[in-house]
């Protein structure tokens, strides 16, 4: 896909991705995605898949909303002690912020901890990093230097012509999940393919936020019998540039991901 076309897609889909993040977090931490048709696990010497699941389960606990004006540091101190969470103060210092920044969003109803946390962090232009068996609040700039890596077993989404299907899956991910975060548009995100006789895996480096969305997307595609790849193949079986109008592409991606109606 040409760079200009990818940039156009990125602009069109940016609004979808921003509105979808909180919904996807809720789906991921509250278990609304049924089954594990696409198993995945972190590549992390200090965190197993079970460790990661435990932290996500804890983040699914419902809590009362934090008070307006509460310092970020105080919010972290009020969270359940079972959750290993910290603030990267050095990263905040580098952009002129501190852990005492006040919460400037009004949250009125109890909700999963992750939903409240991300609602607060998005207004501060901060994010989270789930790595080394801990959750860290940090800046987007610092996160790009240490993207977590995960493996996704997409065997359930491939068949004997897997090389072409794997490329299609990569394009679906890159178009629908934070398009400007991938290396094709100058971002640090990377997707590598690992093929064996009976298994097909994608090894992906990207943010924790985007990994949660990727996991949701792949499992939804695995359960959607009507899934039709966005990309096309030419007569020689090679992937070619999408010829869909941008408006049709946006509609198709929204249907595939189905963020707003889990």
Residue 209: in which H helix or E strand, if any? helix 208-222
Structure tokens at 140: 């987007």
- Residues 125-142: pLDDT tens digits? 999 999 999 999 999 999
What is the Cα–Cα distance from 142 to 128, expressed in whole angstroms?
Answer: 10
Domain assignments of the chain as residue spans, ordered by start = 3-44+148-257, 67-143
For helices 246-257 and 3-30, the axis angle rounded to 10 degrees is: 20
Q: Average pLDDT for residues 155-181, to the nearest whole number?
A: 81
- Residues 32-67: pLDDT tens digits? 333 457 899 999 999 999 999 999 999 988 999 999
Residue 157 pLDDT? 84
The pLDDT > 70 percentage for the chain reads 69
- Whether the CA torsion 90, 214, 261, 36 is positive or negative: it is negative
Residue 91 has pLDDT above 70, yes or no: yes
Residue 249 has pLDDT above 60, yes or no: no
Class assignment of domain 67-143?
A: alpha beta
* Mean pLDDT of the chain, nearest integer: 77
The pLDDT > 90 percentage for the chain reads 48
What are the backbone angles phi and psi of residue 239, rounded to the nearest 5°? -70, 135
What is the Cα–Cα distance from 188 to 180, expressed in whole angstroms?
Answer: 9
Taking alpha carbons only, the member of 70, 88, 190, 196 closest to residue 141 is 88
Q: Average pLDDT for residues 25-33, to the nearest whole number?
A: 41
On whether the pTM is more than 0.75, the answer is no
Using pLDDT thresholds of 50, 70 and 90, give the confidence band for residue 68. very high
Contact at 8 Å (CB) between 218 and 27? no
Residue 259 pLDDT? 37
């Amino acid at each position: 896909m040409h760079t200009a076309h990818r940039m156009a897609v990125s602009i069109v889909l940016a609004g979808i991705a921003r509105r979808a993040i909180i919904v996807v977090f809720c789906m991921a931490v509250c278990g609304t995605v049924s089954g594990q048709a696409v198993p995945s696990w972190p590549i992390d010497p200090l965190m197993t898949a079970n460790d990661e699941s435990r932290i996500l389960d804890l983040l699914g606990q419902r809590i009362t909303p934090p008070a307006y004006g509460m310092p970020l540091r105080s919010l972290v101190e009020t969270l359940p002690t079972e959750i290993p969470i910290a603030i990267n103060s050095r990263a905040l210092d580098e952009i002129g912020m501190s852990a005492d920044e006040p919460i400037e969003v009004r949250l009125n109803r109890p909700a999963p901890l992750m939903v409240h946390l991300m609602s607060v962090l998005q207004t501060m232009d901060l994010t989270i990093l789930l790595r080394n068996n801990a959750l860290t609040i940090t800046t987007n700039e610092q996160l790009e230097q240490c993207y977590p890596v995960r493996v996704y077993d997409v065997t359930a989404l491939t068949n004997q012509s897997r090389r072409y299907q794997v490329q299609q899956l990569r394009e679906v991910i890159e178009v629908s999940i934070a398009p400007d975060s991938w290396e094709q548009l100058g971002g640090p995100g990377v997707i590598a393919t690992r093929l064996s006789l009976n298994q097909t895996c994608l090894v992906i480096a990207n943010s924790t936020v985007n990994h949660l969305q990727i996991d949701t997307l792949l499992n939804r595609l695995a359960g959607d019998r009507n899934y039709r790849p966005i990309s096309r193949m030419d007569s020689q079986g090679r992937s070619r540039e999408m010829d869909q109008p941008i408006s049709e592409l946006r509609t198709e991606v929204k249907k595939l991901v189905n963020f707003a109606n889990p």
